[in-house]
Amino acid sequence: MGTNESGFPEIDVLLEELVLREASDLHIRVGEPPIYRIFGQLTRSEFPVITDEYAKKLLYGIMGEEYKKRFEEKLELDFAYGISGVARFRVNVFKQKGHIGAAMRIIPLHIKTIDEWELPQILKKLSLLPRGLVLITGPTGSGKSTTLAAMIEHINQNRSAHIITIEDPVEFVFKDNLSTIEQKELGIDTKSFTSSLKHAVRQSPDVIMIGEMRDYETIALAIRAAEMGHLVLGTLHTADTAQTIERIINVFPPEEQDEIRLELSNILHAVIAQALIPAIDGSGFNAAFEVLTCTQAVRSLIKEGKTPQIYSAIQSGAKYGMQSLDSQLKKLYQDGLIGYEAALSKCSNPDEFEHSILK
């Protein structure tokens, strides 16, 4: 593919350019040329300025009839698009000021391992648990999907398991190794996370991966699935581990919260909170992780509603593989890898962080 009859580049040209520039995202916006995010910085390309007609042709050309219908009904759409031998891309199409636009993020074809990504080693052990709940949390764009993909691939390489993933959209595409993996995409293979979860537990899974635990019913079903003896891996948009536990509890009505605390204290194995921070030299990003493992002491804190004390448990739990987000940010700053303001913006307790740096 090259340019169309109007002289504008085709979508595959723009996306291949994204890969060549080592960019993470492509932004399509009417009135601007295509914009790339390279090592966290937005860079306007030399391509022509995007018109309404070109933007619609560009994006409708990769949708398909079902996606077009969904977009025209809801005015927002998430899906994945792939170029054979190049990469896959997560696409979010939207409307702004009456114009169609999109953000497209690269998903590498090669699924890197836990070691290749330099993720916390405890993820290997957590991936091979026979049952229970493991949560990966962090804001949008913090790499949660990448971490989950590395965990699924670790299972795939080390255990014979039936794995079901429920995603919106399917991002990383797995190839069966020791495991059998079925990937379900919202809007194509299933109507909702909750509907798919209800049926997944009847399909003899060993592992269920939930792309996003976004509401009461999905969270409740995930807890039930873990109680039934499945390993459930899921994500939430929470900044740290204690927040994650409170978020789950507070989704339920007050009269159910004591029971949920008890259930969660029994089935939760770990919460991994992560953040991506721009490198100080502009060369990319550095990842920081908070790791909470559910020791007997942590389970008691959850059951008794003392989640604020979890921060102290993490600080004293290094021998159980625990680490705080703030301690990781401090180390990255002191090693000269990230800037002070960037570290401060991601930490859980800014006052304590400042004090620890200054003393």
Output the average pLDDT for the chain.
93
Average pLDDT rounded to a whole number, residues 61-70: 91
Could you name the CATH architecture of 122-358? 3-Layer(aba) Sandwich (3.40)
Q: Percent of the chain at pLDDT above 90?
A: 81
CA angle 278, 35, 88 (to 5 degrees): 80
Answer yes or no: are the C-beta atoms of 4 and 10 closer than 8 Å: yes
Question: Against a cut of 0.95, is the pTM above it?
Answer: no
pLDDT at residue number 66: 86
φ, ψ for residue 284, nearest 5 deg: 150, -140
Domain ranges of the chain: 11-107, 122-358
Phi-psi sector, 221: left (phi>0), alpha (psi -120 to 50), beta: alpha
Q: How confident is the model at residue 1 (pLDDT cuts 50, 70, 90)?
A: very low
Tokens found for residue 44:
């306007």
- Average pLDDT (317-337) is 94
Confidence of residue 41 (pLDDT cuts 50, 70, 90): confident
Q: How confident is the model at residue 2 (pLDDT cuts 50, 70, 90)?
A: low
pLDDT of residue 5: 46
Q: What does the DSSP assignment read for 140-167?
A: TTSSHHHHHHHHHHHHHHH---EEEEEE
Mean pLDDT score, 15-28: 94
What's the pLDDT at 186?
A: 85
Report residue 141's pLDDT band, with 50, 70 and 90 as the boundaries. confident
The string of pLDDT tens digits covering residues 207-216 is 999 998 989 9
Q: How many CA atoms lie within 13 A of 139 on its CB side?
A: 10
Tokens found for residue 223? 């807890």
Beta strands in the chain (DSSP E): 25-28, 35-38, 41-44, 76-83, 87-96, 99-107, 132-137, 162-167, 180-185, 207-210, 231-236, 268-278, 285-293
Q: ∠159-201-78 over CA atoms, to 5°?
A: 90
| pLDDT (0 to 100) of residue 192 | 86
Strand, helix or coil for residue 71: helix
Cα distances (angstroms) measured from residue 356 to each of 180, 321, 331: 48, 22, 11
* Fold classification of 11-107 (topology level): Beta-Lactamase (3.30.450)
3-state secondary structure of 87: strand
Check residue 3 and give its pLDDT.
Answer: 52
Per-residue pLDDT band for 256 (boundaries 50, 70, 90) equals: very high
**How does pLDDT run across 97-140, given as a tens digit for each residue?**
999 999 999 998 889 999 999 999 999 999 999 999 999 999 88
